[in-house]
Chains A and B, each alone.
Chain A
Amino acid sequence: IQMTQSPSLLSASVGDRVTLSCKAGQNINNYLAWYQQKLGEAPKLLIYNANSLQTGIPSRFSGSGSGTDFTLTISSLQPEDVATYFCQQYNSWTTFGSGTKLEIK
């Protein structure tokens, strides 16, 4: 299943509300996860089952959507949120999106 993320690069200011998009090539129900990967580090799970926040992840991160269209929202962007964000479907085997690189303006 093809996963398409947009935009590929996003520049925003500290305190902004930021929205990242992930579209699946077919219905994946709610089997969608979001990861944050900082430069030189392993990915970190943020959200699973489309909208469940992983333990220890700040509440400014939230996930929404169903079917084929999903969104990761950061309610108030912080400097430490600079990273690349990947979505992953696990409804049929598993595939990852190509990522959205988030920068501070």
Chain B
Amino acid sequence: EVQLVESGGGLVQPGRSLKLSCAASGFTFSNYYMAWVRQAPTKGLEWVASITNSGGSTYYRDSVKGRFTISRDNAKSTLYLQMDSLRSEDTATYYCTPDFGYNPYWGQGVMVTVSS
């Protein structure tokens, strides 16, 4: 059974940093591109970043370029999202998901609140 367990969220002040983790199991993590997708409260879904299976290439939406860094540790089957210079508009639930283009599996999500 595929499991994706996100952690590391919380309340943070604007301008500060936070690092999310996603522990994956039930599939061969190192074979798949991975992505972070977020959802602001009562809003729709928004792709944030993706990473190739080797970690050699990364992709970001324009609004987080230069502030967020996606990375992975295939030995630990773990995906990360380092979020720096956080803004109020980054407030959302962040989901970890395999990136097939579409997203077949989702974690339960982790809430990030950016507020003073």
The listed residue (B44, B104, B109) touching A86 by CB distance below 8 A is B44
Chain A residues within 8 Å of B101, by CB = 31, 33, 90, 94
By the criterion CB–CB under 8 Å, are A98 and B44 in contact? yes
Say yes or no: is A53 at the interface (Cβ < 8 Å to chain B).
no
* Number of residue pairs A-B, CB distance < 8 angstroms: 44
Give per-residue flags for B43-73: 1 if the beta carbon is below 8 A from chain A beta carbons, else 0. Answer: 0111100000000000100000000000000
By the criterion CB–CB under 8 Å, are B104 and A48 in contact? yes
Say yes or no: is A71 at the interface (Cβ < 8 Å to chain B).
no
The listed residue (B44, B47, B109) touching A42 by CB distance below 8 A is B109
User: Which of chain B's residues has its CB closest to A42's CB?
Assistant: B106
Chain A binding surface, main DSSP class? loop
By the criterion CB–CB under 8 Å, are A42 and B107 in contact? yes
Say yes or no: is B103 at the interface (Cβ < 8 Å to chain A).
yes
Chain B residues within 8 Å of A49, by CB = 102
Interface centre among A33, A43, A49, A99 (most CB of B within 10 A): A43
Give per-residue flags for A71-105: 1 if the beta carbon is below 8 A from chain B beta carbons, else 0. Answer: 00000000000000010101001111111000000
Chain A residues within 8 Å of B105, by CB = 45
User: Which of chain B's residues has its CB closest to A47's CB?
Assistant: B102
A88 and B104 alpha carbons, distance in the complex (Å): 12
Give per-residue flags for B78-113: 1 if the beta carbon is below 8 A from chain A beta carbons, else 0. Answer: 000000000000000001000011111111110000
By the criterion CB–CB under 8 Å, are B102 and A86 in contact? no
23 contacts between A and B (CB under 8 A): A31-B101, A33-B103, A35-B103, A42-B95, A42-B109, A43-B45, A43-B103, A43-B106, A45-B102, A45-B104, A45-B105, A49-B102, A54-B104, A86-B44, A86-B45, A88-B45, A88-B102, A90-B101, A93-B59, A95-B47, A96-B44, A96-B45, A96-B46
Residues of B whose CB lies within 8 Å of any CB of A are 44-47, 59, 95, 100-109
